[in-house]
Amino acid sequence: MRYRQVHLDFHTSEKIQNIGGKFNKKEFQRALITGHVDSITLFSKCHHGWSYHPTRVNKMHPGLNFDLLGEQIEAAHEIGVKTPVYISAGLDEKYAVKHNEYCIRNKDQSTTWAPDFETPGYHKICMNTPYLDLLLEQTKEVLKNYDADG
């Protein structure tokens, strides 16, 4: 890891539209240079479960219509900034809603973090389920398709 590392926290609900619609490569680069950023963690997949790039093993965020991850990596690499990539593991709300049987539960069968699916929040998913296979496929896809730095 380099000296000036930024974690670009990017957990975006499917209700948000026009994700990255105003992304401008030169402005992004200028912000990284101005901030003396050496490395920026970019998002492949957030806690909501959406990918920020085209994918065959997941679903791209419905409010995104281009390869945001790819554009950010390209922009950063052009100015010598490293780009580790974040893939949310164990928190994937889209998957948790579809497969709530794989959620980690308390003794009273309530889910952790958010006690049920009516209360806002995230639900932890057990890694000892088919979810782990999906997570591995998502990771392999990013490693294959992108020049990530970690």
C-alpha 48/C-alpha 88 separation (Å) is: 9
pLDDT of 111: 87
pLDDT, the chain, mean: 95
C-alpha 57/C-alpha 27 separation (Å) is: 31
Instruction: Read off the pLDDT band of 10 (50, 70, 90).
Output: confident
**Is residue 30 pLDDT above 70, yes or no?**
yes
**Is residue 136 pLDDT above 90, yes or no?**
yes
Q: Quote the percentage of the chain above a pLDDT of 70.
A: 99
Instruction: Read off the pLDDT band of 2 (50, 70, 90).
Output: low
With 0.85 as the threshold, say if the pTM is over it: yes
Instruction: Read off the pLDDT band of 1 (50, 70, 90).
Output: low
pLDDT of 52-100, one tens digit each? 999 999 999 999 999 999 999 999 999 999 999 999 999 999 999 999 9
pLDDT of 72: 98
Q: Which DSSP string do the residues of 61-74 spell out, in sequence order?
A: -TT--S-HHHHHHH
| Torsion of Cα atoms, 126 then 132 then 138 then 140, to 10° | 140
